[in-house]
C-alpha cells in the first residue's frame, strides 16, 4: 500500500466513490424523467468503474508482478468502457431525436 502517497490514495478512492454516485444519480434521473435511455448510460459506466477498481486493487498490493494481469484487465475495461459510453450517449441522443 506504499506505492502511492496519501493524497494520491484520496484521489483514487474519491474517484471510485464519485463514479458510483454518478451511476446511481443517472439511474435516479432515468426514473424521475421516465426515460429509460438514461439507464443505458448507468450500465455503460460499469466497465470504467471496474477499470478504476482494478487500478486501486493493484496499487493496494504495491503493484506486484503477480497481479500484472490487473493492468491488462484495467486497460481492457477502459477500452470497453469508452465504447459503451459512446454507444450510450448515441442511444440517448437518438431517443431524444425520436421524441
Query: What's the pLDDT at 3?
Result: 76
The C-alpha atoms of residue 40 and residue 92 are separated, in whole angstroms, by 8
For residue 23, being part of any structural domain is answered with: yes
- pLDDT tens for residues 18-35? 999 999 999 999 999 999
The C-alpha atoms of residue 99 and residue 78 are separated, in whole angstroms, by 32
- Residue 49, domain extent: 8-98
For residue 68, being part of any structural domain is answered with: yes
For residue 2, being part of any structural domain is answered with: no
For residue 75, being part of any structural domain is answered with: yes
- pLDDT tens for residues 42-59? 999 999 999 999 999 999
Please tell me the total count of domains within the chain. Answer: 1
Alpha-helix residue ranges (DSSP H) falling in 34-68: 37-44, 46-60
For residue 27, being part of any structural domain is answered with: yes
Amino acid at each position: 500500500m506504499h506505492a502511492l502517497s496519501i493524497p494520491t490514495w484520496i484521489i483514487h478512492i474519491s474517484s471510485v466513490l464519485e463514479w458510483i454516485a454518478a451511476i446511481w444519480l443517472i439511474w435516479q434521473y432515468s426514473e424521475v424523467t421516465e426515460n429509460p435511455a438514461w439507464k443505458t448510460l448507468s450500465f455503460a459506466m460499469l466497465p470504467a468503474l471496474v477499470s478504476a477498481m482494478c487500478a486501486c486493487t493493484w496499487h493496494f498490493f504495491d503493484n506486484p508482478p503477480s497481479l500484472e494481469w490487473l493492468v491488462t484487465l484495467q486497460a481492457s475495461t477502459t477500452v470497453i468502457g469508452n465504447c459503451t459510453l459512446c454507444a450510450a450517449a448515441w442511444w440517448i441522443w437518438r431517443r431524444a431525436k425520436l421524441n
